[in-house]
Amino acid sequence: MRTFKKVKGAPILNGNNHQLGVITDLTYCLKEGRITGYWVQNRRWWSKEHVLPLSVVASKDKHCFIVTENHPFVAKKHSDSRFLHGKHRLIGRAVNQKDGEMIGIVEDVYFLPDSGKILGYELTEGLFEDLKQGFKVVKTKHFAVEDNQTLLLD
């Protein structure tokens, strides 16, 4: 099981130990409820190919990801969104129950690195509540999107 906080900043290396980039974000599909790839910051900033699919990663270390191809990146699919940045980002969104009560705000995501299946979300209720009670971890299959800013817990 991985979290976004654990993979953010990890370098991507090819078989020759040449650095291809650094993980700066995740791409996800909310309809499928899974992480689809890693958003990689590389030297090709003008290119649209920044996504490293989960299936391309050959080896995972604590400190880096190793791929066998020299150019493993693909363009982001239209149905995918980014976790940290972008118009439909997941981090910072409010999570409500069906009755309208707010549970918290998305802070991190827990996922399986091989399949990308999202296991749960880490939610925050603010600094003082987090210091007093700690972060909440919500295990869920999917969120229903109420509007652009709010997620409903199923």
> For residue range 65-77, what is the model confidence (pLDDT) as tens digits?
999 887 888 988 8
Q: What is the pLDDT of residue 145?
A: 61
Distance CA 66, CA 31 (A): 29
At the fourth CATH level, which superfamily is domain 94-153?
Answer: PRC-barrel domain (2.30.30.240)
3-state secondary structure of 132: helix
3-state secondary structure of 18: coil
The whole-number pLDDT of residue 128 equals: 72
Ranking 38-52, 100-114, 135-149 by mean pLDDT, the lowest is: 135-149
Question: pLDDT band at 86, cuts 50/70/90?
Answer: confident
Judged against a pLDDT cut of 80, whether residue 48 lies above it is answered with no
Nearest CA among 40, 67, 41, 39 for reference residue 55:
67
What distance in Å separates the CA atoms of residue 56 and residue 36, rounded to the nearest whole number?
11
Q: Where in the chain is the domain with CATH 2.30.30.240?
A: 94-153
pTM of the model: 0.84
SS3 content of the chain, % helix, strand, coil (to 5): 10, 45, 45
Query: Strands 94-96, 150-153: parallel, antiparallel or unpaired by DSSP?
Result: parallel
| Cβ atoms of residues 15 and 65 within 8 Å | no
**In which residue ranges of the chain is CATH 3.90.50.10 found?**
2-82
- The CATH number of the structural domain formed by 2-82 is 3.90.50.10
pLDDT for 50 beyond 80: yes
Q: Is the pLDDT of residue 95 over 80?
A: yes
Of 116, 76, 108, 104, the closest CA to residue 91 belongs to 108
